[in-house]
């Protein structure tokens, strides 16, 4: 047994299998975060790193915010856990009511999860079960988009369209089809805000309706603004057209707002921002400021009501998680909403957006920059793909930015920025000044 003793086991870095990370490369040259405050991470080598991506698009109020810290500490001492099924606790009802009041339209019912991926699975299951509850059990097909990102579980991966995230995992779910994405449309490069061309891309849905028979389609899921695929904005009129086609055929429209919810676009939700109301909205990430994992799915009253008034075997939604509406997560989310409200963060993006937009588009004439995209406090900087070298220019920029004290995110050839909403103009100047120097230095 002695070779199984702790001493003979792997060193500190080897045991942990890191997600979405080239483990061997990382472990040869690790980047370690040991603290955080406001707009900054503190690194193990003592340097500060300006957070240009809100952690992973989630710390919208910045780091280690007192309201949230206090809320969690208080909750931990009061009620650590409550059974999620057949039992309730006051904070989950309070949080759901508050969220429902924030969300426009009929999206008044809220179901809690622990992540974006779980919110997506929940939404897809709700859609199929909703139709069944109303006597339309044949509506089981799901439609997503190429390049779409809806998390990593089997439903989300199947409706998603990022080849790298799918190709290792077999045949995925059946009964799923994809529309094209709205990326790379002629005449849209360097648009400020929503691009003008491409509303007709929504007609891909009509094509799929014709192919499959619309009465077999349960739902369509899209990110109103796609983050992980490289910050892809919806063309003007596109979301409206999707809504109209869904209405025509009785198909539910799901907005995956895991990135856009809670102020990212300068409005509380993309639903407000684009003025298009889907039937279901998935959220997570910034709901509890990234402090404790939590997600929330918003549904229109009609969906909840279908479960309450359906045939006897449908009165319950046979779905949920041990940690749905967990007291600690609810406390963190309530502290987060307090912070957002007290500091006006859910609309701060719209105030700062002109300054942000100018900063983004100041990179226009730099070498290899082939497109710039912006909205609220989010940006995509797309670089010319590089043939013959293993590392994309964007990832080289990530490494250089890290050395220069700035955290960015990259996906393929695109650099994404999505900072905490407490960002000041001086931080914006630093971030884009740093990026300017880096982009000039890339071959």
Which residue ranges make up the site for ligand PMP (CB under 6 A)? 115-117, 120, 149-151, 223, 227-228, 256, 258-259, 284
> Are 102 and 279 within 8 A, CB to CB?
no
Least distance to ligand PMP, CB of residue 285, Å: 6
In angstroms, rounded to a whole number, what is the distance separating the alpha carbons of residues 287 and 274? Answer: 20
Beta pairing class for 217-222 and 141-145:
parallel
Count the Cβ atoms, other than its own, within 10 Å of residue 180.
Answer: 15
- Mapped to the 3 state alphabet, what secondary structure does 367-422 carry? CCEEEEEEECCEEEEEECCCCCCCCCHHHHHHHHHHHHCEECEEECCEEEECCCCC
Coil, strand or helix at 37:
strand
Q: Which residue bears the tokens 């509890």?
A: 288
Beta pairing class for 280-283 and 378-383:
unpaired
Contacts of 91 by beta carbon, 8 Å cutoff, 6+ apart: 75, 327, 330, 331, 334
| CA distance from start to end of the chain | 54
CB closer to ligand PMP, 259 vs 401: 259
Locate the DSSP E strands across 187-324. 217-222, 252-256, 280-283, 295-299
Residue with the CB atom nearest ligand PMP in the bound state: 116
Q: Cα 78 vs. chain centroid, distance in angstroms?
A: 31
Coil, strand or helix at 296:
strand
């Amino acid at each position: 047994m002695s070779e199984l003793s702790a001493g003979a086991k792997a060193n500190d870095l080897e045991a942990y299998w890191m997600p979405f990370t080239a483990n061997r490369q990382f472990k040869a040259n690790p980047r370690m975060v040991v603290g955080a405050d406001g707009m900054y991470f503190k690194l193990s080598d003592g340097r500060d790193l300006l957070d240009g991506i809100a952690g992973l698009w989630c710390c919208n109020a910045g780091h280690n915010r007192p309201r949230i810290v206090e809320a969690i500490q208080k909750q931990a001492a009061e009620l650590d856990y409550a059974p999620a099924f057949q039992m309730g606790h006051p904070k989950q009802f309070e949080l759901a009511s508050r969220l429902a009041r924030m969300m426009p339209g009929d999206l008044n019912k809220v179901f809690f999860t622990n992540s974006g991926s779980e919110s997506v699975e929940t939404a897809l299951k709700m859609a199929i079960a909703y139709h069944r509850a109303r006597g339309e059990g044949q509506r089981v097909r799901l439609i997503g988009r190429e390049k779409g990102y809806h998390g990593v579980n089997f439903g989300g991966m199947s409706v998603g369209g990022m080849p790298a995230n799918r190709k290792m995992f077999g045949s995925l779910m059946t009964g799923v089809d994809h529309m094209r994405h709205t990326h790379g449309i002629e005449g849209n490069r360097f648009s400020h805000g929503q691009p003008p061309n491409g509303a007709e891309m929504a007609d891909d849905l009509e094509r799929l309706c014709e192919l499959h028979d619309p009465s077999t389609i349960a739902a369509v899921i899209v990110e109103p603004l796609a983050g992980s695929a490289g910050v892809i904005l919806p063309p003007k009129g596109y979301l409206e057209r999707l809504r109209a086609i869904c209405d025509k055929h009785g198909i539910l429209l799901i907005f995956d707002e895991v990135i856009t919810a809670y102020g990212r676009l300068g409005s509380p939700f993309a639903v407000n921002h684009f003025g298009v109301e889907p039937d279901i909205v998935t959220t997570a990430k910034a709901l509890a400021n990234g402090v404790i994992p939590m997600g929330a799915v918003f549904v229109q009253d009609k969906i909840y009501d279908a479960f309450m008034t359906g045939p006897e075997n449908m009165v319950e939604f046979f779905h949920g998680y041990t940690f749905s509406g967990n007291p600690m997560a609810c406390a963190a989310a309530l502290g987060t909403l307090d912070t957002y409200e007290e500091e006006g963060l859910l609309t701060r993006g719209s105030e700062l957006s002109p300054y942000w937009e100018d900063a983004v588009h100041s990179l226009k004439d730099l070498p290899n920059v082939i497109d710039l995209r912006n909205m609220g406090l989010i940006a995509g900087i797309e670089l010319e793909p590089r043939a013959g070298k293993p590392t994309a220019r964007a990832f080289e920029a990530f490494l250089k930015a890290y050395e220069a004290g700035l955290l960015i995110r990259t996906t393929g050839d695109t650099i994404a920025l999505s900072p905490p909403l407490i960002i000041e103009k001086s931080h914006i100047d630093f971030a884009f000044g740093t990026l300017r120097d880096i982009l000039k230095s890339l071959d």
